[in-house]
């Protein structure tokens, strides 16, 4: 009988991620992402705040999609009504505007969490349902890590390749 995969086997602990604050700028996030890429790490950042007792509360995440589409949001507001109009130098102009934004303006807020003892299929369901690429993993109401779509894909590829008969 096959063994069901559990989320805590595939999650990444929180200490693998840089932590930023909501009031910091997109420029700060870009610098952290560049550092992560140089170290061959996933370019995801945690956005957190401290509550009244001083405990750190995770508010959301910054991903490459958040940066790129957050930058384009300013431009896209007008494009929804009239269609896109592009001009020379537009990307650079939009970049200059975007790096001044606060992280909370572009971050992906936490929409859902998954318990560390849930099956991997539950994680796949939640990722699809909420259209996100990562989920916070909780144990006893405390976030202990993240599970990524990329990590699930690696597991699926490993299982699928193991089952493919040779000589086809």
**What confidence category does residue 139 fall into, taking pLDDT thresholds of 50, 70 and 90?**
very high
25-73: pLDDT as tens digits:
999 999 998 888 888 777 788 898 888 887 788 899 998 888 888 777 7
Taking 70 as the threshold, does the pLDDT of residue 75 lie above it?
Answer: no
With 0-12 CB in 10 A as exposed, 13-18 as middle and 19+ as buried, what is 53? Answer: exposed
Domains of the chain: 7-163 (3.10.580.10)
Work out the mean pLDDT of the chain and round it to a whole number: 84
Are the beta carbons of 110 and 46 closer than 8 angstroms?
no
* C-alpha radius of gyration, the chain, whole number: 19
How many C-alpha atoms does 126 have within 13 Å on its Cβ side? 20
Q: How many residues are there in the chain?
A: 168
Q: Percent of the chain having pLDDT more than 90?
A: 29
pTM score, two decimals?
A: 0.77
């Amino acid at each position: 009988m096959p063994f069901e995969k559990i989320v805590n086997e595939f999650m990444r602990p929180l200490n693998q991620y840089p932590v930023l604050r909501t009031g910091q700028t997109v420029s700060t996030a870009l610098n952290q992402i560049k550092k992560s890429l140089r170290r061959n790490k996933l370019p995801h950042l945690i956005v957190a705040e401290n509550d009244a007792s001083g405990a750190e509360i995770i508010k959301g995440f910054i991903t490459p999609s958040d940066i790129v589409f957050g930058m384009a949001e300013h431009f896209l507001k007008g494009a929804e009504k009239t269609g896109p109009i592009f001009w020379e130098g537009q990307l650079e102009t939009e970049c200059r505007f975007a790096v001044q934004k606060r992280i909370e303006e572009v971050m992906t807020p936490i929409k859902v969490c998954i318990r560390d003892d849930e099956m991997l299929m539950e994680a796949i369901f939640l990722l699809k349902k909420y259209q996100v690429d990562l989920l916070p993993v909780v144990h006893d109401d405390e976030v202990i890590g993240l599970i990524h779509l990329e990590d699930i894909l690696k597991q699926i590829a490993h299982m699928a390749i193991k089952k493919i008969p040779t000589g086809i």
